[in-house]
Structure 1
Amino acid sequence: METIDIQNTDDQARAWLLHLTSGHATREDGEAFRRWCTESEENAEAFARVRALWDALGSAAALREHARATRERPHGRHGVRMTRRAFVGGALAASVAVVLLGRAGLFTPAATPGGRMLRTRVGEQRSVAVAPGVTVEMNTDTDIALRGQVGAPTGMHLRSGEAVVRIDAGHADAFVVEVADGRLFSGPGAAFAVRCADDAATVTCLDGQAVINRAGTNTVVKPAQQVAFDATGMGDATAVNVDSALAWRHRVLIYDNEPLGDVVADINRYRPGRIVITDSALAARRVHARFTLDQMGEVATLIQDAYGAHATQLPGGWVLLS
Structure 2
Amino acid sequence: MRTLDPTPHHHAALHKEAQHWLLRFTSGSATAYDARAFKLWCEQSPAHVQAFAETRRMWENLGPAAAAFTAREQASVAPAASPATDVPRMQPRRMSRRAFLGGAVAASAAFMMLRPPMRLWPSLSDIAADYRTATGEQRDVELGPDLVLHMNTQTSVNLRKTDGRITGLDLLAGEIQVRDTSPHHLPFTVFAGGGRIEVGEQTRCNIRCFGSNIQVTGLDGSSTLEYQGRDTVLHTAQRANYGDGLISAIVPADVEATMAWRRRVLIFDGRPLAEVIAEINRYRPGDIILTNQQLAARKVQARISLNQLGDIAALIHDAYGAKVTDLPGGIMILS
TM-score by length of 1: 0.79
Count matched residues.
299
Residue 276 of structure 1 pairs with residue 289 of structure 2 = yes
Question: Distance in 1 between the 2:332 and 2:240 partners?
Answer: 33
Question: Cα distance, 1:312 vs. partner?
Answer: 1.1
* Compared CA separation, residues 91 and 19, structure 1 to 2 (3 A): farther
Q: How does 1:120-269 map to 2 (within 5 A)?
A: 120-148=133-161, 152-170=165-183, 172-231=185-244, 233-269=246-282
Asked whether the equivalents of residues 14 and 90 of structure 1 are also in contact (C-alpha less than 8 Å), the reply is: no
From 34, 57, 69, the equivalent of 1:32 is 34
Residue 92 of structure 1 pairs with residue 110 of structure 2 = yes
Asked whether the equivalents of residues 187 and 209 of structure 1 are also in contact (C-alpha less than 8 Å), the reply is: yes
Asked whether the equivalents of residues 258 and 286 of structure 1 are also in contact (C-alpha less than 8 Å), the reply is: yes
Question: Cα distance, 1:102 vs. partner?
Answer: 6.9
Asked whether the equivalents of residues 200 and 229 of structure 1 are also in contact (C-alpha less than 8 Å), the reply is: yes
Question: Distance in 1 between the 2:137 and 2:21 partners?
Answer: 24
1:71-100: CA deviations, max 9, x gaps? 746xxxxxxx765422323333335468x9
SS across alignment from 1:38: helix
1:189-239: CA deviations, max 9, x gaps? 111000011211111111110000011110010011111222152112111
Asked whether the equivalents of residues 175 and 207 of structure 2 are also in contact (C-alpha less than 8 Å), the reply is: yes
Question: Distance in 2 between the 1:51 and 1:170 partners?
Answer: 53
SS across alignment from 2:107: helix
Question: Distance in 2 between the 1:54 and 1:133 partners?
Answer: 45
* Compared CA separation, residues 203 and 102, structure 1 to 2 (3 A): closer
1:84-139: CA deviations, max 9, x gaps? 422323333335468x97759xx9544xxxxxx21111111111112333211111
Question: Distance in 2 between the 1:131 and 1:25 partners?
Answer: 53
- Counterpart of 2:132 in structure 1 is 119
* Compared CA separation, residues 13 and 171, structure 1 to 2 (3 A): farther
From 12, 15, 28, the equivalent of 2:19 is 15
Residue 314 of structure 1 pairs with residue 316 of structure 2 = no
Which aligned segments of 4 or more residues in structure 1 are displaced greater than 6 angstroms? 51-55, 66-71
Question: Cα distance, 1:290 vs. partner?
Answer: 1.4
Q: Which runs of 5 or more residues in structure 2 are unaligned?
A: 1-8, 70-94
Q: How does 1:68-83 map to 2 (within 5 A)?
A: 72=97, 83=101
Amino acid at match of 2:304: F
Residue 295 of structure 1 pairs with residue 308 of structure 2 = yes
Asked whether the equivalents of residues 201 and 230 of structure 1 are also in contact (C-alpha less than 8 Å), the reply is: yes
Q: Which runs of 5 or more residues in structure 1 are unaligned?
A: 74-80, 111-116
Question: Distance in 1 between the 2:181 and 2:55 partners?
Answer: 38
Question: Distance in 2 between the 1:152 and 1:63 partners?
Answer: 40
Question: Cα distance, 1:244 vs. partner?
Answer: 1.7
* Compared CA separation, residues 34 and 272, structure 1 to 2 (3 A): farther
The structure whose Rg is larger is: 2
- Counterpart of 1:76 in structure 2 is none
Amino acid at match of 2:138: Q
* Compared CA separation, residues 102 and 123, structure 1 to 2 (3 A): closer
The CA RMSD over aligned residues, in Å, is 3.6
